[in-house]
Amino acid sequence: MAANITPQGCGPNVDSLYYNLCDLTAVWGVVLEAVAAAGVVFSFVLFVSALATLPFLKNNYKSSVVLQAGFLLYTAGLFCLTFAFIVKKDFATCASRRFLFGVLFGGCYACLLMQSVRLNILARQNTSPQAWALCLGALGLWLVEVVINTEWLIITVVRNPQYPLSTTNETSKAAATPCNIANQDFVMSLIYVMTLILAVVVASLAIMGGKHSQWKKQGVLIFLTSLSSVGIWVAWIIMYVYGNERTGGPTWDDPTLAIALVSNAWAFIIMYSIPEICCLTNNEDSQQDYEEDLYPSRGVGYETILKEQSSQNMFMENKAFSMDEPNQGSKPVSPYSGYTGQLRSSVYQPTELALISKAIGNQPPEQSFDMIIPRASAGSAANSGSSTPSTHTEAGNTAHTQTSGHGLNRTSQW
């Protein structure tokens, strides 16, 4: 008999409360379970990715990461809440449904609204408010929904419980559950969340009026996300309030709310969280590229020196040493000869030896490097009476005659 009662796909030890998680005849429960589990894992990965980009961002982006992290936590909570709508009803599951449905959605839209406020300030002043101010604003908006749901749950469950009609007075209190509430009342308890959705739509549209266009891209993401949420909420409210009564009855209520949770949570992930984190990582890469261009690497390498010699002629030779040797035509140049250990903007400064040689020889700066060793004549050496012949430099091969103090003529041949 136990084998006949247990649905296909569930083991004999599984409680009847969790049959929808494994019943192969109720395919909607198995599909939503898999999709919700994937959403939880994906939300956690995005949460870690958002926190990993925090140390590399500017101040204008750091406040966005804090709100994005809170938004992902609430989105992961929506995926987890889906399991409460898949399993069957009892006191714990019904209380969590009624309380957490509005609380989690309120947290998501509170973060989106503060993101819109932040982008409005950036689009007009290009300066982001402090992260703690944005977090306090989102926390205050979220606490309003927490207070509303807490009060509503206490009034409907503790003060004025709705008992099942088939129970007696002695067992009525034990059989009372938070699920005994009309669908219209459940929707009316979410009016504050609907107000937050409309506020996000209006605030995201206001971003387009700013003068700094680099922030409008993120505003478009929030606007599209809020529009998709409006469509999802209109669809599930119409189905939950009017459609189920005319088609499938109360048995369709749980699948309707579970599908609304999963679809809206995945809309948050696909349309906002993923593009927002991509924008943060692109900003990180552009910041690193900017720093590399501002402070280029000055490492010495073979390819770097060849590139510098080809782009700009930086080869400078010390003339004090090159004048001592004749030009031998084109000589092979080492790629390391152009490296002086100085920056590109440095100016050539001659050595002391070059200055002394230039002062003694009185050589013009345009003098050719082609030098010929002078050769003194024998006659001049004999007539001078000195052991050292006197040499004089003159351009070309012409002879120059100079008269000494004794009246002797000396001729240097070049």
pLDDT of amino acid 167: 45
The pLDDT tens digits of the residues spanning 33-68 come to: 999 999 999 999 999 988 888 887 776 777 788 899
Asked if 67 and 111 touch (Cβ cutoff 8 Å), the reply is yes
The verdict on residue 79 lying in a domain is yes
The verdict on residue 379 lying in a domain is no
What average pLDDT does the segment 165-189 reach?
65
Checking if the pLDDT of 94 tops 50, the result is yes
Asked if 20 and 87 touch (Cβ cutoff 8 Å), the reply is yes
Mean residue pLDDT of the chain comes to: 74
Asked if 267 and 35 touch (Cβ cutoff 8 Å), the reply is no
pLDDT of amino acid 348: 56
What average pLDDT does the segment 203-229 reach?
89
The verdict on residue 399 lying in a domain is no
Q: Which two tokens stand for residue 299?
A: 């490492």
Checking if the pLDDT of 18 tops 50, the result is yes
The 10 Å Cβ neighbour count of residue 349 is 7
In whole angstroms, what is the distance from residue 407 CA to residue 168 CA?
Answer: 152
The verdict on residue 87 lying in a domain is yes
In whole angstroms, what is the distance from residue 161 CA to residue 174 CA?
Answer: 11
Checking if the pLDDT of 175 tops 50, the result is no
What average pLDDT does the segment 174-181 reach?
63
Asked if 377 and 413 touch (Cβ cutoff 8 Å), the reply is yes
pLDDT of amino acid 235: 94
The verdict on residue 222 lying in a domain is yes
Containing structural domain, residue 137: 16-163+178-280
In whole angstroms, what is the distance from residue 63 CA to residue 118 CA?
Answer: 9
Amino acid found at 149: N
Domain total for the chain? 1
Query: For the CA atoms of 303, 305, 308, 311, what is the dihedral angle to 10 degrees?
Result: -50
| Residue 253 belongs to domain with CATH number | 1.20.1070.10
More confident residue, 137 or 347: 137
The pLDDT tens digits of the residues spanning 234-276 come to: 999 999 998 887 776 778 888 999 999 999 999 999 999 999 8
- Helix ranges restricted to H, 295-343: 302-311, 319-322
Checking if the pLDDT of 289 tops 60, the result is no
Asked if 138 and 67 touch (Cβ cutoff 8 Å), the reply is yes
Q: In residues, how long is the chain? A: 414
In whole angstroms, what is the distance from residue 36 CA to residue 25 CA?
Answer: 19
Asked if 157 and 245 touch (Cβ cutoff 8 Å), the reply is no
The verdict on residue 70 lying in a domain is yes
The verdict on residue 405 lying in a domain is no
The verdict on residue 381 lying in a domain is no
